Structure 1
């Protein structure tokens, strides 16, 4: 049962070298991801005189985020697990795969990484604004809330299936690219409606730097609920009972 595995952790954990190294890795990975993802949107808007909300802009955003997340997860995987997302960290905590204190360290690092990335973008682009996530015309706040839950559920479920599951076998090799692909696909599905965040850190940095907080709670509550549900369901049904068999490599 995953509930029995949930742990607060000891306060000494916050000062252990491996925990601090993991937090630093999360900071750098999130900075890399947000700088490339947010920067691609800013670059496209500049090249098209502000017309970023186009089919081409959506495809460009999906590709940039998929590639950037693939790299960000890969470079952090052997140090921190490559969460790069508070919702992923929360899902790991709900599933009993990370302590609360270590998770808080990750959250702080992820939010700082996103903020520093947006500050660097603002400086290097000569003061261009880092656009905060916002709802499109005709999209209600509850529509976006459910959309974020569903998209983040898919993301964290993918993380569990390819990276966390102890019976993942050779699937672990493709975990970073699978995670990047699901984010890119979700951006194509939901980007035209609410920006398709799936990541509170990705939403926090641009909102803080531009000081735009309209409906910001959606980009926290939706991903955290979706990530928590994915962690709970996967851990409970597919890991907790140990009742699924690993496929032979030839069957992949």
Structure 2
């Protein structure tokens, strides 16, 4: 129940609604670029991969810039899962985020379905694995491109770095565009379970849909874990791993430090869970919360 204490606040619901709106706009604009308006012609031209890639990339860059300070600008269940495994977001709050992202994606895809003529609607941008490759290969492609995306998120929004310049949102948008330029012929380049879930729900086409949840989430978790715990570990987190938490007779959790040279070995420090809970990540800067697709 402690994990759910932070959700009954105005700031939290502002953040959740921000994820909903950002995902709605992203999915609406991104899927709109997949509509082939020449579909009614005798020999319609193939889909413009560059147009689609740039639209998805620039859309996510814009949404991250707009909503990064409001919700962290996840706009992607894979990014939210990455935040959970690196302890930047509680599991309880992550559940609300993912639900908001999925509802936003359904709404965005639904709006596009309504405003687009049936003759050119096509598959409405539903992602499917190329019939020339296996589902396992499709899963691997989704894992790799989401790994590239989430690693970019963590690297460009790392508050420990002093060499960063330019726009983190634009770098994340480029990561999305690169993933699309490479993977559209393979899997449609989802990189985002909500992006795939929205049009699949509207068209009721769930062919191989599990690939677009398992692949991106595994890729995001792997990228986050490698960045946070192997390549650029936080010294403070490393110190916390040395601590052992025990409950005393009064029921309060206490922190026993044994390897801290600044404190006498065996000394005990009381942890105020109330103060810990008040440190809401949504009040932090975009670099601390981390933003992404």
- TM bracket, shorter-chain basis: 0.7 to 0.9
Residue 131 (structure 2) aligns with = 137
Contact 1:93 1:100 in 2 (8 A): yes
2:103 corresponds to 1:109:
no
State how many pairs are aligned: 232
**In the aligned structure 2, how far is the partner of 1:113 from the partner of 1:227?**
20
Which one has the bigger helix percentage? 1
Q: Displacement, 1:16?
A: 1.7
Q: Displacement, 1:83?
A: 0.6
Contact 1:35 1:118 in 2 (8 A): yes
For residues 91-144 of structure 1, give each alpha carbon's deviation from its aligned partner in whole angstroms, at most 9, with x where no partner exists. 111111111111111101100110000110011114435232111230110000
Report the CA distance shift for 1:73/1:9 in structure 2 as closer, same or farther (over 3 A).
farther
User: When the two structures are superposed, what TM-score results if normalisation uses the length of structure 2?
Assistant: 0.74
Residue 121 (structure 1) aligns with = 112
Q: Displacement, 1:242?
A: 3.4
Give SS of 2:153's match.
helix
Contact 2:4 2:93 in 1 (8 A): no
Contact 2:61 2:170 in 1 (8 A): yes
Q: Displacement, 1:40?
A: 0.8
**In the aligned structure 1, how far is the partner of 2:191 from the partner of 2:55?**
15
Rg comparison, structure with higher value: 2
User: When the two structures are superposed, what TM-score results if normalisation uses the length of structure 1?
Assistant: 0.86
Q: Displacement, 1:26?
A: 0.6
Residue 62 (structure 2) aligns with = 71
**In the aligned structure 2, how far is the partner of 1:151 from the partner of 1:220?**
13
Gaps of 5+ in 1: 1-7, 244-252
- List aligned pairs for 1:1-252, cutoff 5 A: 10-42=3-35, 45-49=36-40, 54=46, 57-127=48-118, 128=121, 129-163=123-157, 165-169=158-162, 171=164, 173-242=166-235
Contact 2:38 2:45 in 1 (8 A): no
Contact 1:53 1:192 in 2 (8 A): no
Give SS of 1:213's match.
coil
Q: Displacement, 1:173?
A: 4.5
Give SS of 2:164's match.
helix
**In the aligned structure 2, how far is the partner of 1:231 from the partner of 1:15?**
28
